[in-house]
Amino acid sequence: MVGNHLAQHPELSGLAIGLGVHIQSLPAGSRVDIRTLTARFPEGAVRIAAALRELEAHGYLRRERKRGSDGRIVTRTVSCNQPGGGEDAPSAPPPRKKKAASRALPPVPRPAQPSPALVQRATDLLADLRRHDSRLLLSAQDTAHLAPGVAAWLERDATPAAVRHALTTGLPDEPLCRPAALLAHRLAAQLPPPPPFRAPAPPPAVRHLLQNCEGCDRAFRAPAPGLCRGCRFGHPGAA
């Protein structure tokens, strides 16, 4: 069987195509040197040599110089059914199976106010998980995806120890195929509620320093020296 890539080659001459088909039809070990082919076909040695060079240039022939067992240097011609192939050519590596597209990680909660300091604390906590379980060695991309979820926990008054306990406790004993996906699920499923609302405490009452009234010399509290209330309103006895 001869492939159309040779029989209908757009760049090879008719003689080169004919020689290529003839050579591929021969059994292994046949002589295909210029002298033998010239004796077989009416074309001369010059034209046959040129046709062989065409086949070699397009990968249908490969000529190698080797030393035989008797010490003589001989030229060995390898015919290739496919351009660039051959029995001694290095076998092409098996085609790689297309890697299945990795599934996206589950979404994680987001903090209401993602300050850089809060996100950095969350990133440091995730990077430290591998010290507690070597299976939780996360890539930089996975860490960036999970950091907002941890920041949301910290924003809700969860301590770093509580977050670490929620992420590392009760893990399965077998190897974790997708540790980041497991952590993302826990961050979303076990997110604690917001802290209870606490009204801000009223500001403490301001106690001014004692001042001596410049009118009656009584002591009174005021931010600056001056008259007491009685002297200001004309009632010295009411100071």
pLDDT band at 142 (very low <50, low <70, confident <90, very high): very high
**CA separation for the pair 10, 83 (Å, rounded):** 14
- What are 218's two structure tokens? 């009584």
**CA separation for the pair 21, 2 (Å, rounded):** 7
**CA separation for the pair 89, 53 (Å, rounded):** 19
Please write the tens of the pLDDT for every residue from 93-109: 455 555 544 689 999 99
pLDDT band at 89 (very low <50, low <70, confident <90, very high): very low
Average pLDDT of the chain is 84
More confident residue, 110 or 73: 110
Q: What is the pTM of this model?
A: 0.45
**CA separation for the pair 151, 120 (Å, rounded):** 9
**CA separation for the pair 16, 58 (Å, rounded):** 10
